[in-house]
Amino acid sequence: MDFHIQGVELNHIRKAALKMRAGGVGYYPNSNFVHIDTGPVRKW
């Protein structure tokens, strides 16, 4: 899922997703979204 939450800093969403250690987390600050998915724990 690709998403952002208006009024919440994108980096805060990224950190929360990484802390969950429940799948993949992609960080796209120039496009204003974070990608999270199920599967192996990984980040990009």
What per-residue confidence (pLDDT) applies to 1? Answer: 97
What per-residue confidence (pLDDT) applies to 24? Answer: 98
pLDDT tens track of the chain, all 44 residues?
999 999 999 999 999 999 999 999 999 999 999 999 999 999 99
DSSP the chain: -EE--TTS-HHHHHHHHHHHTSSEEEEETTTTEEEEESSS-EE-
What per-residue confidence (pLDDT) applies to 18? Answer: 98
What per-residue confidence (pLDDT) applies to 35? Answer: 98
